[in-house]
Amino acid sequence: MPSIARDRRTGVPGFVGVLTVVGLLALPSHALAVFFLQGPLHVGTALWCLLAFVLLRDARWDWRWIVAVVLLATGILGDFQMLALGVVPIFVAGLVAMLRVRSWRAGLTATTASIAGVVLAVVIRVIATAFGTFSIAPQNPIASPAQMLRNVGLVGSYGTKLFGIASGSFGSGGVPTLLGAVHIFGLLVVVVCVLFALVSLLKAIVTGRSSAGSDETWRLDDVLVLAFFADVVLFVLLTPAPNDSYARYLTTSIIFGAVLAGRVVTRALVHDLPSWLATTVVVSTVVVACGFVAAFGFTLSGPTAQQPARELGAFLAAHHLTDGIGDYWAASIVTVETHDTVRIRPVKADANGRLVGYDRNSSTSWYHDHSSSSSLSFRPSALPMWASTQRKRRSVRRHIPIRSATFSFSCGLTG
């Protein structure tokens, strides 16, 4: 990503561009690190998108176009959000290129790559289905129109938290308030650069003055700014309630925004600058970067985070409770932490309040011989679902933020 940010530039411009991306992504705020460094939260999808964007930036019909198509296809097969984060921005960027240059050929590589990626994904899916493969779960629920309006406001609220300016329920990671204020510079740089790229895109569409020559840096800028806003739209559509955990849907927009900011900053410094101004820019950037390093240092030096899944797994194993069910976020992680010694299978409540097997990241074979369970694991927020089962509890032990209960019941699970 740093190499993408410096936009093939060297010297002071390239250095400042790289430092911008490193400060924002390699030294993330405590809140951003929560989503950036754990999965499955679509961070890998963002990397696949960036690789495809870079391969298509020169609009060449060569091996890069083929690899980009393969990346898009495999991304779709692994994460449907690739459509919104990669395929659609590339296709729209192709249309924008046609309007910029006033030639349909200017955007042909991008538009055809996005279409070919979808077609290839469908073909691979059909072939794989014929041999037997995973099924595709129903789409995530869409937020209500009223919630979508509220989500627009949440973009700013969650965005500031992810940048480290506000902490909220994420916590500060032990970073002093005054030192955490250094992240304001990161937010300002990203916002200003994204808006600059957006205005440049819109202006070029109207005037049609973009070149189709060797210097087409605008191609990558366009797809990055489109991907940035595509992720924001995705957040607005897919966030069903004001819960901080849904801030994860904004992670990729920060990644795209940081890379775009590095590119814009780099080009802004390409012009011949007075020596005093160049020195000021470098020194200021280094000082701010040092602030990011110091803030990140406080996060790293803090106490080891509690591992509730590991503690819960040890408790269940010690009491010979090796077979159970739980909500998605508190189930399979326990199975992994105990190396399959304790098997907690994810379930959910259907429309009738009946527990059924979870339809994402799970296997139907897990539920074939699961008519009775000895334990139940859940997060406090999932309590209403478990209360609806109206089963008699023998004992309860709390593991923040996961709770565990032992039951004698038959739940008749179905996959």
CA 61, 67, 70, 75 dihedral sign is negative
Phi-psi label, residue 305: left if phi above 0, alpha if psi -120 to 50, beta otherwise: beta
Neighbours of 168 (CB within 10 A): 13
- C-alpha of 189 from chain center: 20
Give the Cα separation of 85 and 311 in Å (integer).
Answer: 36
> What pLDDT sits at residue 390?
36
Which tokens is 168 given?
A: 């909220």
Contacts from 5-12 at CB under 8 Å and sequence distance 24+? 5/258, 5/259, 5/261, 5/262, 5/263, 5/266, 6/262, 6/263, 6/266, 7/217, 7/220, 7/263, 7/266, 7/267, 9/266, 9/267, 9/270, 12/269, 12/273, 12/278, 12/281, 12/282
Gap between the Cα atoms of 76 and 51, Å rounded: 14
Segments of the chain with pLDDT less than 50: 214, 380-402, 406-412, 414-415
Asked if residues 213 and 59 have their Cβ atoms less than 8 Å apart, the reply is no
Tell me what pLDDT residue 392 has.
34
Residue type, 351: A
Q: Quick: pLDDT tens for 32-56.
A: 887 877 655 688 899 999 999 999 9
For residue 225, what are its two tokens? 């700014």
pLDDT at position 389: 38
Amino acid at site 51 = L
> Which strands make up the sheet holding 343-349, listed edge to edge?
355-357, 343-349, 323-326, 372-378, 402-410, 393-399
Q: How many CA atoms lie within 13 A of 276 on its CB side?
A: 0
> What's the distance, CA 315 to chain centroid?
32
**What is the pLDDT, as a whole number, of residue 321?**
81
